[in-house]
Structure 1
Amino acid sequence: MLREKFAYRLPAGLDPAGAAPLMCAGITMWEPLREAGIGSGSRVATAGLGGLGHLGVKLAAALGAEVTVLSRTPGKADDTRKLGATDLLVTTDDAQLARAAGRFDLILDTVSGPHDLSPLLRLLTLEGTLSVLGFPMQTPVNLMELSFGRKKLSSSGTGGTRHTAELLSFAAEHGITADIELLPSAQIQQAFDRLERGDVRYRFVLDLADLD
């Protein structure tokens, strides 16, 4: 039995399967966007374009921000535009990184493995924020990178009930759901195997109807 305080009303028009990842990945992205006051005129970058990152792009664009995807390769340019971003910055290109120095108000860092935060911090504008969301483990930080420009380092507290309800209403208003592949629950091992290979765009959702 589910206690009422842990349940959310699904707004009309939101596909339940596509909305399911909003309850985790979606609110993880939503909280730092709202905390940073992102809106029209803001410049937001998403480092990584996976299950977290693609929702970060959709939400930031719907809030009115100019959105850039930071990627190690240029191969995601088409997806970048389809999701609502206006630019793709290739982080292995030193010239592109140099031109983008001091550009972003907020960077949503969804990279899932250990990585150096300094190159991302250099892309922030005065009092900009780097929100580390994909790798919640111990990570070294060069504090001088924060001092130059009064930059901030943050993460996500996964929202809480008020912000989660706010996110669902916003998603319904703007027609935002996760890009998913719906699988019967019997295929959970195949889903794990494909996740290990990175073979998903951008979230698996399991249909439990086959458990009846």
Structure 2
Amino acid sequence: MSQVETAEKATDNKNNTQVKAYGAKAADADLKEMQIERRKPTKDDVHIKITYCGVCHSDIHQVRNDWKNSVYPVVPGHEIVGEITAVGENVKNFKEGDLVGVGCMVDSCQTCDSCKEDLEQFCENGATMTYNSKDKHLENRHTFGGYSESIVVNKEFVLSVPKSLDTKAVAPLLCAGITTYSPLRTWNIKKGDKVGVIGLGGLGHMGIKFAHAMGAHTVMITTSPEKAEDAKRLGADEVLISKDEKAMKEQAGSFDFLLNTVPVGHDTNPYINILKRDGTMVMVGAIEPIEVNGAGLIMGRKRIAGSIIGGIKETQEMLDFCGEHDIVSDVEMIDMKNINDAYERVVDGDVKYRFVIDMKSLN
């Protein structure tokens, strides 16, 4: 029996809904239109008509099986903005017509220590990710993401979107936004701190906006001098070219915090050198080996840490912060039919700074 034909647990299959989506059936296949099945909403669920969905590099990794864990078909998309079309009887905080968002998670156990501390991203029993996770509600199924007409999500994983924001540019906040906001908040970045954001891309441009809004002296650290003007437009107080050995030496021991968004393995030692004693560099980009010389950490009690997304409570806090400070992502809009070309442009670094799909184009 195929995945689409598998019966929902304790529910008649005829009550599920067929919806239009875009996905890939193999690692070497383009994304194409397909039909997927969404479960009938339970009393704890929210049904959302998707209006915008961001394109994350993680979507590409999953589609192309770069992490060797993909289950096909893959329907990506975890930067979702849409309108509620129905709510279950136990849903009290949302109503039909509300503008909402869904990020990287759609469920977790809600009972482990991490979940109880509002850190569902570290669920000890395994969070249910928006796509390519085992679906709790449908037997022998995996979850499908936001490249689709609609989605059904547990009420605890739905987020309120401030109406003051440019809705289409909100979508990347649900991944790129919270990925950079969370470490800045966790390490208590405040007015007067000197913060370096390493790498100017989808993550880095959000890091600059957040650090600047928090009152930090914000420095864009990049290998590309041509990015200086744009970095300052985004809120950087200054730009440091990491290939300039003289400039890096002059900045030695001066940074309270570094947000490292470089997405591939690299030599971190030049960055460790510019941290103050007791300074911290947080990695949010590279999930592969990096080069570290222990002496640079030991001589100054410096730290390298890691961070992923935030929990639901913190993600809502981030959205509210964005509403207060009028922060959204810099986006380029695309139609669904252009998604395969957009993937190639993301891989080539040819986007400022996130693609967002207008989901009306799916129809």
**Superposition TM-score, scaled by structure 1 size:** 0.97
Q: Could you say which structure has the higher strand fraction?
A: 2
User: Which AA in structure 1 matches 2:221?
Assistant: L
- 1:23 is aligned to 2:174: yes
Can you give the 5+ residue segments of structure 2 that lack an aligned partner in the other structure?
Answer: 1-151
User: 1:204 is matched with which residue: 329, 351, 355?
Assistant: 355
User: How far is 1:64 from its partner?
Assistant: 0.1
- SS, match of residue 315 in structure 2: helix
User: Which AA in structure 2 matches 1:110?
Assistant: T
Aligned length: 212
Aligned to 1:58: 209
User: Which AA in structure 1 matches 2:347?
Assistant: E
User: 1:148 is matched with which residue: 299, 302, 305?
Assistant: 299
User: Which AA in structure 1 matches 2:312?
Assistant: T
- Alignment RMSD (CA, Å): 1.0
Q: How does 1:1-212 map to 2 (within 5 A)?
A: 1-212=152-363
* Whole-angstrom distance in 2 between the partners of 1:69 and 1:102: 16
Looking at CA atoms only, which structure, 1 or 2, has the larger radius of gyration?
2
**Superposition TM-score, scaled by structure 2 size:** 0.57
Can you give the 5+ residue segments of structure 1 that lack an aligned partner in the other structure?
Answer: none
User: How far is 1:81 from its partner?
Assistant: 1.0
- SS, match of residue 80 in structure 1: helix
Quote the sequence identity (%): 40
* Cα deviation digits, residues 11-61 of structure 1 (max 9, x gap): 121122211111101111011101111111010001111000000000000
The answer as to whether partners of 2:264 and 2:287 remain within 8 angstroms in 1 is: no
* Whole-angstrom distance in 2 between the partners of 1:207 and 1:155: 33
User: Which AA in structure 2 matches 1:199?
Assistant: D
User: Which AA in structure 1 matches 2:269?
Assistant: S
Q: Could you say which structure has the higher helix fraction?
A: 1
User: How far is 1:198 from its partner?
Assistant: 1.4
- The higher relative CO (CA closer than 8 Å, separation ≥ 6) is in 1
User: Which AA in structure 1 matches 2:255?
Assistant: F
* Whole-angstrom distance in 2 between the partners of 1:73 and 1:19: 27
* Cα deviation digits, residues 79-133 of structure 1 (max 9, x gap): 1110110111111111001000011111111111221011111110111110111
- SS, match of residue 52 in structure 1: helix
